[in-house]
Amino acid sequence: MGEATLLAYVAAGAKVVGMDINQKLGTAVVTQANANASDQAHFVPVDVANEQNVTEAFHKAVELLGGGLDVLAHPAAIQAASDPSEITAETWDQMFAVNVRGTMLANQAAHRHMRLTGGGSIINFGSISGQRAEPHAVAYSASKGAVHSWTRSAAAAWGADKIRVNAILPAMVTPMYREARKHMTDDQNTTAYWNNHHPIALGKAYGDPLTDLGPVMIFFASDASHFITGQLIPVDGGQTNTR
């Protein structure tokens, strides 16, 4: 989803800095993006759970962008199966370090730069897993619920700085999605199950990040969404709703 977002932004004419802990993959994505748009995209390695690393990476990114930051898209996360009776403190802490602390640190870094230049848009990634019971992925579900709460609170706090904060709740075909399917029952893996849970995506299961998510990311990065903040936006073919 991060790759699709970067490619969509570059295709729309934006200057973009991609960040990831995986330097090899991150560099490859930026190289792909620059194939048709020379030097429009750059890559900076980051560990979103490390405060100093995040601060330094954002300073470097702002330099590469020419001294300002308008948009943060933050899809960085990890996912793993976990049982409420057996999950360890180590697994719980790791999930929250990346998914929750990582969101907080990246948002804070973006806020520091955006408020100096008149505002911007922060787009976090929540999950439908944070909206419903997930008995086989309790830590992931809890972490995404925390991201939802953070997003609402940050939006309320930073509105005065003209910074919008929203969260996308995607249901896309990703490596995490493929791994999750391995832990589903045979009944859940049937086409009929997915059709019943996707009112507008019959037979498609989850969406395509580039064609189904990319345009939404462009919308929330643009002035067209200037009057939307503090919202949880499902992009999931109709699987769920928020309140």
One-letter identity of residue 236: D
β-partners of residue 129 are none
The reported pLDDT for the residue numbered 36 is: 80
Percent of the chain with pLDDT over 90: 75
Domain total of the chain: 1
Given a contact cutoff of 8 angstroms between Cβ atoms, the answer to whether 200 and 237 are in contact is yes
For residue 144, the enclosing domain spans 2-172+207-234
**Sign of the four-CA dihedral 201, 144, 76, 182:** negative
> Rounded CA gap, 98 and 95, in Å?
6
Does residue 178 lie within any of the structural domains?
A: no
The set of residues, in sequence order, having a beta carbon less than 8 Å from that of 81 and lying 6+ positions away, is: 136, 137, 180, 183
β-partners of residue 235 are 170
Per-state percent for the chain, helix, strand, coil, to nearest 5: 50, 15, 35
The reported pLDDT for the residue numbered 4 is: 96
Does residue 188 lie within any of the structural domains?
A: no
| Per-residue pLDDT reduced to its tens digit, 183-233 | 556 655 555 555 555 555 545 567 899 999 999 999 999 999 999 999 999
The per-residue pLDDT of the chain, averaged, comes to 90
> Rounded CA gap, 99 and 48, in Å?
9
> Rounded CA gap, 90 and 94, in Å?
6
Does residue 168 lie within any of the structural domains?
A: yes
Does residue 16 lie within any of the structural domains?
A: yes
Does residue 182 lie within any of the structural domains?
A: no
The reported pLDDT for the residue numbered 185 is: 60
Does residue 30 lie within any of the structural domains?
A: yes
β-partners of residue 207 are 172
Does residue 193 lie within any of the structural domains?
A: no
| Per-residue pLDDT reduced to its tens digit, 134-166 | 899 999 999 999 999 999 999 999 999 999 999
CATH number of the domain that residue 108 is part of:
3.40.50.720
Does residue 194 lie within any of the structural domains?
A: no
The reported pLDDT for the residue numbered 238 is: 80
| Per-residue pLDDT reduced to its tens digit, 86-122 | 999 999 999 999 999 999 999 999 999 999 999 999 9
Given a contact cutoff of 8 angstroms between Cβ atoms, the answer to whether 26 and 47 are in contact is no
The reported pLDDT for the residue numbered 171 is: 86
